[in-house]
Chains A and B, each alone.
Chain A
Amino acid sequence: MAVPPNVSPTAFNAALVAWRQAVGAEWVFTSAEDVALYRDAYSPYWGEPEERVASAAVAPATLEQVQAVVRAANQHGIPLYPISTGRNLAYGGSAPVYSGSVVLDLKRMNRVLEVNERNAYALVEPGVSYFDLYEHITKAGLDLWIDPPDPGWGSVIGNALDGGAGWTASPFRDHFGAHCGMEVVLANGEVVRTGMGALPNSRSWQHNRWGFGSWVDGLFRQSNLAVVTKMGFYLMPRPEALASATVTAARDEDIVPMLDVLNLLENQHVVNGSTSIFGGPDRPAGNFPAWTITLPIYGPEEVVRAQLNYARNKYAAIPNVKFTQGEVFRTPLPPEALARVRLVNFGIPNLSTFAMLGRSPGNPEPDGGHIGFSPIVPRTGESLLEFKRFYRDNLAKVTGGENLGIVGPVYMTCWDRTLVCLIMFPIGRDKARNAKMRAAFKSWVQLAAERGWAEYRAPAAFQDMISDTYSFNNHALRRLRETIKDAMDPNGILAAGRYGVWPKHLRKT
């Protein structure tokens, strides 16, 4: 049996006894075989000494059990690493950031506690996946949509806490931004409810996120200050229709006015769907437009048709740009339409994204997993063209001229006003190849930071490095976070190292 670092076998055994009493022996995992199930299948250090691995796992099913587990860990100084469904693949999966931590596996907390149709919200536990919430809403016959990310088995809470995004309308596809109210267990085992939830017998916990006084929910995003046990989310009433249009341009420089209009349309809430941007100077040979932007619009049919016309008129003012209206889908989709659409755009969770990431005709021998570097770039045509040049000019330097199968950049528009410029790296079981991916990843992080661009979310192995790039005023932000960490978790038991924040006893300086 493995023992966490800096923990005596006596202390660990005492914690194990307390955990077994709290959750039942069958939900405390210590055998090498069981603990191996918590390895990060997409670890860029797979099989190497630097791979982040768990020492054990404990899986409570209730709030009270979480409290008991955390209290025992705090008493005995055991590092815990909470996971929700553990499917945060490419960002660490179910493995801890601090190797040797005990994984606090919340998958068994899988209750949908409430879905309110009239005020369009849900309250869920961490083990609830997008599949689960979709199923619950569908079975209940409620006229609400969820906003799934690509993999439907992810946790609704976990994805929001990790900064994830989905594929339907703004503001719902910013998952943390769409939450309302949290319940968290602090490192000492105390339960806190945020916003209106702090009112005993509150009747508006999921109606109003602000409550009274300072708003603390942001402390629990991409952080390590508490264990989140409940979270509310705003849901989108089923839109009557989804309309779309495609805008193309012939010249590379046309992207500048194209994105200016796109920003206007999004900031006016005329275009509210998840747009896509493709093309640029390195587009494939042949008769392809320089740029293609898709414009999905959700709403009542007569309204979205008017919004499409408005968008058409705005783009008509740009020379050389072609606006093509696409199909207007009415919802619920008829069965025959399901095969023609990308389901996540219709609030239907699935796993089809892995069909493109895994073995495919274009990639018959895949490495296995992948990781991504996704810097945030202002959403202007000039910035996009600058990033294209940046990628092209540095690729050979970053890879040593070798074709490593790195894919990029792809421009995502999860959030208003920015582009997420994704570069993807295949990860597998070949240590030498993984080492090259890590080196390339680190080079991109450094080169991007020199330009003022940085990542929004990262695999565990690179969180320290990326946190280091957010260094304004001698890392003042990280030092502030460390001050808060030390105050809220003085024994440093919760998710040490997550997003670059380490407890005092593990900090290098």
Chain B
Amino acid sequence: MKALPRSAARGALLLALAALTPGAQATEGASPPPASSGKAVYEYWCAPCHAPGPGHPGTQSLQLKYAGKVPAVLLERTDLSARAVAVFVRQGILLMAPFRKTEITDSELAALTAYVAGNFKTPSAGR
């Protein structure tokens, strides 16, 4: 399936330019993850969409959604709990389909959520 934005004319133009235009870094979607490493699970399954920079649809989407109120790059977020990360992985959102247990096992999910939620700061009461 080729990539298209909403308007046909705009899509045709973008595609014309896209034939040899920007993309993502080459090292993403790398090695199949060892079960124990949340970082490896993140880099294999999440980074192709959520790494910094252009060509990353997750980062682009969060940038547009939050307009800088929270960081667009997942690993820079401090408001994501492990539980929240797990919900997004297993339920998906918009065009991000859920990840099955043959893709990310429960133990890999635990490692992943701990890694992504590493900066999580519990909101203090009364604010």
Contacts and interface: CB of A to CB of B under 8 A. Distances in A.
Given A37-B98, A338-B25, A244 B19 contact: yes
B16 A278 contact: yes
A38 B90 CA distance: 10
Given A108-B102, A284-B10, A362-B5, A339 B90 contact: no
B8 interface: yes
B2 A353 contact: yes
Interface size of B as a range = 35 or more
Nearest to A93: B97
A108 B98 CA distance: 17
B32 A110 contact: yes
Contact of B12 (A57, A283, A345, A370): A283
B117 to A, nearest CB: 21
Interface string A228-243: 0000000000000000
Interface in B91-126: 92, 94-103
A356 B14 contact: yes
B61 interface: yes
Contacts of A296: 19-20
A276 B98 contact: no
Given A87-B97, A107-B102, A294-B16, A150 B4 contact: no
Interface string A134-147: 11000100000000
A368 B12 CA distance: 21
Interface string B47-80: 0110000111100110011000000000000000
A278 B48 contact: no
Nearest to B11: A407
B15 interface: yes
B23 A422 contact: no
Contacts of B90: 37
Nearest to A343: B23
A501 B44 CA distance: 36
A135 B101 contact: no
A1 interface: no
Contacts of B56: 351-352, 355
A410 B16 contact: no
Nearest to B55: A352
Given A352-B55, A356-B3, A362-B7, A345 B98 contact: no
Contact of B23 (A38, A135, A139, A339): A339
A378 interface: no
A59 B102 contact: yes
B interface secondary structure, majority: loop
Contacts of B30: 131, 135
B94 A368 contact: yes
Interface in B16-32: 16, 18-26, 28-32
A93 B96 CA distance: 12
B8 A359 contact: no
A364 B6 CA distance: 10
Contacts of A349: 29
Contact of A422 (B2, B7, B98): B2
Contacts of A288: 13
B23 A360 contact: no
Contact of B57 (A57, A86, A354): A354
A276 B15 contact: yes
A153 interface: yes
Contact of A351 (B24, B31, B64, B99): B24
A282 B24 contact: no
A352 B24 contact: yes
Contacts of B18: 342, 356
25 contacts: A37-B90, A86-B100, A105-B102, A131-B44, A150-B3, A152-B29, A153-B48, A278-B15, A283-B9, A338-B25, A341-B23, A344-B23, A345-B20, A355-B55, A356-B18, A357-B3, A357-B4, A358-B61, A358-B94, A362-B5, A369-B94, A370-B1, A407-B11, A410-B11, A424-B4
Cβ-closest 8 pairs across A and B: A131-B29, A354-B57, A343-B23, A41-B97, A356-B3, A352-B55, A359-B61, A353-B3
